[in-house]
Structure 1
Amino acid sequence: MDRVIQKKTWGTKRLLTISGITAAVLFGGWMIISTASSKSKLNVDTERITISEIKKGPFQEFIPVNGVVMPYTTIYLDAVEGGRVEEKYEEDGANLKKGDPIIKLANTDLELNLANQETAVYAAQTQMQISHNSAQQNTITKLNQMAEVDNAYKEAERVYILDKKLLDQKAIGLQEFKAAENAYNYQVRRKKLTTQILKQDTALIRQEDLQAREQYAHMKSTLELMRKKVADLTVRAPIDGQLTSMDAEVGQNKNKGEHLGQIDAQSGFKVRVDIEEHYLSRIFTGLMGDFSFAGKTYKLVIKKVFTSIEKTGRFQVDMQFVGEVPKGIRKGQTLQIRLALSDETTATLVPKGGFYQQTGGNWIFKVADDGKTAYKVDIQIGRQNPDYYEVLQGLKPGDKVVTSSYENYTDIQELVLKKP
């Protein structure tokens, strides 16, 4: 017989279990959502951040550098010859004319060498004069001998010609003619030999005289060099200018090549600038810079680049004033210069701020139109100068962004801006 099976209903215990599980799942989801929401948003007091506006305007890439004012021309004074400071004619800061004596050094060895060289030159001059006189006497003797030989030759020639005619006329015998012929031939050979000796002697005398003169000229040149060395013991101003950095006192010993001071020409100033080696490839002659002095702006241009890198990781350039030179500027004065690395262009600009350290210029917090929140946007930064970054992509003029530090915002997606 069939039996009716009754349908089971939900028990109270089972309902409570299902309800508990559902509540736990819902609570966990709410916690996850709540936690994610708390991590993606952050309340920020607007007085604790910097909000800047994106603008479009003139942009020029430049770097701030320091330059020191220097004389346009400086000539260093070094000891050409070593010695003891015997006399000091001028003090540091004196204005000098070219050739004015500054100090005098004493060098006994050098002065003694000069005296010995002078004696040697005078002795060589005397010996050369004696040799010249002797050569002249020898030449005169040789010329006298030549005159006698020539006379004997002519006489032998006359007798030979006459005897030949007499022989043809059978007025004399063959024996007498042969004697005249032999005498003539002898005189011919004698004249030829004497002439050759005279030529050789003359050439030898000329060669000896030339060598003596060259040797004498060399000794005189050496003497002049010695005299110049002794004259260099008196250090003189090479140009008109001001004596500076003088380092010499009476009684001091100065070695050859030792620095004594310098002369600064009064023809104008230049500016010596230190630059970080990072910029070496972008620095060249012709780059412009400007600085402010006494409320006015003045321009400078690079005239020389020293490419050697110092131990400090910097290199130097010399800049020249363009146009007017500031009145009252002084040697040794430090100028703060804006050195331009590019021409001026129009660009979209964001003011510099601490945000760049955390973002690397890849993103920024952009303020919403209602001004209540700021959210992340991707951007692309180009060139920069000490005041602005050039914005290539992601922002437009009129946008407002947070430019202060993002040190505590790296995991935040949105800032909720609260006014105090």
Structure 2
Amino acid sequence: MDRVIQKKKWSTKRILTIVGIVGVAALIFGAWYFTSGNSKLNVDTDRITISEVKKGPYKDLIPVNGIVLPITSIYLDATEGGRVEEKYVEDGAMMKKGQPILKLSNTNLQLSLVNQETSVYNLLTQMQISRNAAQQNTVNKLNQMTDVESQLTEAERLYKLNKHLYEQKAIGSQEFKTSENNYNYLKQKKQLTNKILQQDSASNQQQLEQAKQSYAGSQNALSVMRKKVGDLVVRAPVDGQLTALDAEIGQNKREGERLGQIDVLSGFKVRVDIDEHYISRVFIGLAGTFSFAGKDYKLKITKVFTQVTGSRFQVDMQFEGAVPQGIRRGQTLQILLALSDETTAILVPKGGFYQQTGGNWIYKLNESGTIAYKTEIRLGRQNPDYYEVLEGLKPGDKVVTSSYENYGTMQELVLKKP
């Protein structure tokens, strides 16, 4: 007897067909989902850094490096050239003012000193001879004056006597005229002798002054020459530490050549290199801070060197308040230099996001913290810790500040906890 065979509702062919249709629909839906809206990427929250935007105090700080130097350094240059004969101390020695450091020899200079001394002694001898001659000449003139005065006195007596006798008709006019002429002659001779004596005295005085000036000039020249010879012994100009001594026995040093320097250890300063980009914003009085041995210290700019070398310029900073114990010359300090006073601003912590966005946008979290979406922003100043936010964010917003290197052009990040 024949039996009716019932047809299967879920045949293999039918199942495969349905699966295919569902797959195609899923592909179509996926394509529509990812192309019709914002591109999205799933991100684990433990692999990113989420920071909160806040409003707080802001200082425009830049990190710079400084080298500790003595507050004063005095260079030692060879005042006179010569050969190094002796070294009394070595590099690094503590010096007292006037203490000898090394000795140079210069035969030509020493010979010049001998010649100058001989010249001064010869001039002194010549001055003595001239003075003796002037004194002898003055004595002769005074003797002549004495003779004339004596003759004039006798002639005046005889003239007055003959005048009285002539008036009494006791002598003739010829005898009277002779005595009168002799008297007048001797008066004129006395006047002339006195004038010559005055001129001779003035001339002698002038010659004496000129001789004194010439001798004084020679003495000054001799003093200068002795000082030049004395400078062959190089001495410490102040108390301090001898550093960078560059001289060996037998070495020839030219005039003006650098021999070393004396560091005055009464205090320290810090020489800082700064990028030329900030040259218009750096001036005397700006402050900086640094940490040393777990403590913070303050510095202040006291001098700005405006010369730019290798795209950098330098400033000198001095310690404000306490100086760190144990600090040494040549140490490098990492300083935060404040380019402005403290202000209040909206701040976002610094992070790797800036390298991909240039500060033009950032991923901002929604209120539930499940999605971070691309948001345009505008940043202003920056310091080592924060960027100043000018537009696009407000205090309390949460943003992704870690690197965006792997996110490409994604518009949204779907945040998932692992």
The farther-off stretch of 289-298 and 165-174 is 165-174
2:312 paired with 1:314: yes
**What CA distance in whole angstroms lies between the structure 1 residues aligned with 2:145 and 2:56?**
106
**What CA distance in whole angstroms lies between the structure 2 residues aligned with 1:181 and 1:410?**
139
Q: Deviations 1:104-157 (Å, cap 9, x if unpaired)?
A: 111111111111111111111111111111111111111111111222223333
Deviation (angstroms), 1:205: 1.0
**What CA distance in whole angstroms lies between the structure 1 residues aligned with 2:401 and 2:166?**
138
Q: In structure 2, the residue corresponding to 1:151 is in which secondary structure? A: helix
Letter in structure 2 aligned against 1:249 = E
Match of residue 236 from structure 1: 235
**What CA distance in whole angstroms lies between the structure 2 residues aligned with 1:50 and 1:320?**
39
**What CA distance in whole angstroms lies between the structure 1 residues aligned with 2:186 and 2:357?**
118
Contact 1:304 1:317 (8 Å CA) reproduced: yes
1:51–1:154 Cα change, 3 Å = same
Q: In structure 1, the residue corresponding to 2:89 is in which secondary structure? A: coil
Match of residue 72 from structure 2: 73
Give the alignment of 1:376-391 within 5 angstroms: 376-391=374-389
1:156–1:37 Cα change, 3 Å = farther
Q: In structure 2, the residue corresponding to 1:319 is in which secondary structure? A: strand
**What CA distance in whole angstroms lies between the structure 2 residues aligned with 1:164 and 1:309?**
105
Deviation (angstroms), 1:246: 1.4
1:44–1:257 Cα change, 3 Å = farther
**What CA distance in whole angstroms lies between the structure 1 residues aligned with 2:295 and 2:409?**
48
**What CA distance in whole angstroms lies between the structure 1 residues aligned with 2:347 and 2:248?**
61
5+ residue gaps, structure 1, are 1-29
**What CA distance in whole angstroms lies between the structure 2 residues aligned with 1:61 and 1:205?**
81
**What CA distance in whole angstroms lies between the structure 2 residues aligned with 1:240 and 1:155?**
81
**What CA distance in whole angstroms lies between the structure 2 residues aligned with 1:339 and 1:375?**
36
Match of residue 4 from structure 1: none
Contact 1:41 1:416 (8 Å CA) reproduced: no
**What CA distance in whole angstroms lies between the structure 2 residues aligned with 1:349 and 1:234?**
64
**What CA distance in whole angstroms lies between the structure 2 residues aligned with 1:63 and 1:72?**
24
Q: In structure 1, the residue corresponding to 2:278 is in which secondary structure? A: helix
The farther-off stretch of 88-97 and 346-355 is 346-355
**What CA distance in whole angstroms lies between the structure 2 residues aligned with 1:230 and 1:86?**
14
Deviation (angstroms), 1:353: 2.8
Deviation (angstroms), 1:230: 0.9
Letter in structure 1 aligned against 2:180 = E
Give the alignment of 1:146-161 within 5 angstroms: 146-161=145-160
1:43–1:179 Cα change, 3 Å = same
Matched residue pairs, number? 389
5+ residue gaps, structure 2, are 1-28
Match of residue 258 from structure 1: 257
Deviation (angstroms), 1:253: 0.8
Contact 2:43 2:413 (8 Å CA) reproduced: no
Letter in structure 2 aligned against 1:344 = E
Match of residue 126 from structure 2: 127
Deviation (angstroms), 1:288: 1.3
Match of residue 95 from structure 1: 94
**What CA distance in whole angstroms lies between the structure 2 residues aligned with 1:44 and 1:244?**
64
Letter in structure 2 aligned against 1:386 = P
Letter in structure 2 aligned against 1:208 = Q
Give the alignment of 1:253-402 within 5 angstroms: 253-310=252-309, 312-402=310-400
Identity of counterpart residues, as a percentage?
66
Deviation (angstroms), 1:330: 1.3
Letter in structure 1 aligned against 2:193 = T
Match of residue 190 from structure 1: 189
Q: In structure 1, the residue corresponding to 2:308 is in which secondary structure? A: coil
Letter in structure 2 aligned against 1:399 = D
Deviation (angstroms), 1:218: 0.8
Q: Deviations 1:312-352 (Å, cap 9, x if unpaired)?
A: 12111121122221111111111111111112222211112
**What CA distance in whole angstroms lies between the structure 1 residues aligned with 2:84 and 2:355?**
61
**What CA distance in whole angstroms lies between the structure 1 residues aligned with 2:194 and 2:153?**
15
**What CA distance in whole angstroms lies between the structure 1 residues aligned with 2:155 and 2:405?**
129
Deviation (angstroms), 1:307: 1.7
Contact 1:358 1:410 (8 Å CA) reproduced: no
Letter in structure 1 aligned against 2:111 = L
Match of residue 137 from structure 2: 138
Deviation (angstroms), 1:409: 6.4
1:152–1:350 Cα change, 3 Å = same
TM superposition score normalised by structure 1 = 0.85
TM superposition score normalised by structure 2 = 0.86
Contact 2:41 2:410 (8 Å CA) reproduced: no
Deviation (angstroms), 1:404: 3.6
Q: Deviations 1:5-54 (Å, cap 9, x if unpaired)?
A: xxxxxxxxxxxxxxxxxxxxxxxxx999878646x433241445433210
1:333–1:31 Cα change, 3 Å = closer
The farther-off stretch of 164-173 and 93-102 is 164-173
